[in-house]
Structure 1
Amino acid sequence: MTSRHSRSSPATARLVEENLLTLAQLRGMVAALTPERYREAFGEHGRHTLGKHVRHIIDHYDALLDGLDRGAEVIDYEQRQRDEALEQWPQQAARHLAAVEARLSLLGSGPSPDALTLAYPLDDERLSLASSLNRELAFLTSHSIHHMAIIALLAEQSGIHLPESFGVHPSTLRHWQRASEEQAPLSRRSA
């Protein structure tokens, strides 16, 4: 099957930028952790660690980027690598995140596939859902932020202090910025 490609759109470049900002924030947090903190177990069954959530985020980016590198028109997030070293060693995860960022940055400037198909398991069958690179980039931002919000809760329980913006979706950050700008003129008038 021949893959059709077109020049990357301004929307693609903006979505890539959102992902890059999200991953840079995650990489900064991961790079500052000791392996003990990164592996610390949380929850009744001890299944949650910061590292497992980071590895899960990385796996999803790798699934998309590896699929695109192979020229695949089908993206399957269920076929993840699940490299346990990425959930055990924060410095290795930070290096991998930097590599993902480098690969992602190329998407904003080069050709991109016109259409993708998302493989989605449903009970005993796999659905093939129409998708696009932009839709998958939007998904990856939201998916990453969702897991980063969980990471922030776990980090707080462990006494790790993160910026208020960590694990907050870019749309919420933009809303906070607009609200702050709207409040500034009011405070100047009352002064």
Structure 2
Amino acid sequence: MSPIARRSFPPREGLLEENLLALSQLRHFVGDLAPEHYRQAFGHHGRHTLGKHVRHIIDHYDALLNGLEADGDVIDYERRRRDELLEQWPHQAARRLAEIEAVLAASIDRCPSVRLGQTYHLGDGELVLETSLARELAFLTSHTIHHMAILGLLAEQIGIALPEAFGVHPSTLRHWQREASVPVSARSA
């Protein structure tokens, strides 16, 4: 039996909890931000703001939820709303994150399989792939944490302190927990 076949992966509820934890951390971070910090431009061309990264995360969850609600259950991350108000006003984004948390928690049991739509611009077609809610939740955890790590770097540049676990993937947190419980002498180099 291969090592992958023997591994037990977290149930869909575990993936949901990872997403809800990330969304909650993000909501608390955003809810405490002043609009001027939320909209402050970073980078050589000034294209990066905390608000744009938060809006991008929200767009992806909205795409998932829209796909779960729509006939045919097709999730399309390319056809995102891109609501500029969510990247301008942190309290509006925090409210939307709270709504997403509530809807996501209520949606977990009603959709065992979904399809993922992807538009390829090399032709005029659209590829629709079979996927699952669990797979999409795993993707969204990684995607959200990736952008939260960027948010953490940007926030540090303007003196905003964040908890140590902000922007850290749950697998890394579990690794840190295991490492903390192993005596230093027993750790490999």
TM-score calculated relative to the size of structure 2: 0.87
Contact 2:16/2:137 (CA < 8 Å) preserved in 1?
yes
Q: Percent identity?
A: 63
Unpaired segments of 5 or more residues in structure 2? 1-9
Matched, 1:118 2:116: yes
Farther off after superposition, 48-57 or 122-131: 122-131
- Aligned twin of 2:12: 12
Question: What is the CA–CA distance in structure 2 between the aligned matches of 1:33 and 1:181, rounded to whole Å?
Answer: 35
- Aligned twin of 1:77: 77
Write the letter of the residue equivalent to 1:112: C
Q: C-alpha displacement at 1:70, in angstroms?
A: 2.0
Matched, 1:91 2:88: no
Once the two structures are superposed, residues 51-75 of structure 1 have per-residue CA deviations (whole angstroms, 9 ceiling, x without a partner) of 0000000000001111112243211
Once the two structures are superposed, residues 96-135 of structure 1 have per-residue CA deviations (whole angstroms, 9 ceiling, x without a partner) of 0000000111133x3223x322112223342222211100
Contact 1:58/1:97 (CA < 8 Å) preserved in 2?
yes
Write the letter of the residue equivalent to 1:135: R
Equivalent pairs counted in the alignment come to 175
Alignment of structure 1 residues 42-57 onto 2, 5 Å: 42-57=42-57
Once the two structures are superposed, residues 16-62 of structure 1 have per-residue CA deviations (whole angstroms, 9 ceiling, x without a partner) of 11100000000110001000000000001100000000000000000
Matched, 1:127 2:118: no
Change (3 A) 1:185 1:104: farther
Contact 1:13/1:107 (CA < 8 Å) preserved in 2?
no
Contact 1:15/1:138 (CA < 8 Å) preserved in 2?
yes
Contact 2:53/2:151 (CA < 8 Å) preserved in 1?
yes
Matched, 1:164 2:164: yes
Q: C-alpha displacement at 1:183, in angstroms?
A: 3.0
- Aligned twin of 1:61: 61
Write the letter of the residue equivalent to 1:169: H
Contact 1:35/1:89 (CA < 8 Å) preserved in 2?
yes
Write the letter of the residue equivalent to 2:84: E
Question: What is the CA–CA distance in structure 1 between the aligned matches of 2:121 and 2:70, rounded to whole Å?
Answer: 27
Contact 1:35/1:90 (CA < 8 Å) preserved in 2?
yes
Measured on the aligned residues, the alpha-carbon RMSD in Å equals 1.6
TM-score calculated relative to the size of structure 1: 0.87
- Aligned twin of 2:7: none
Whose relative contact order is higher, 1 or 2, with alpha carbons under 8 Å and at least 6 apart?
Answer: 1
Unpaired segments of 5 or more residues in structure 1? 1-9, 187-191
3-state SS in 2 of match to 1:112: coil
Q: C-alpha displacement at 1:81, in angstroms?
A: 0.6
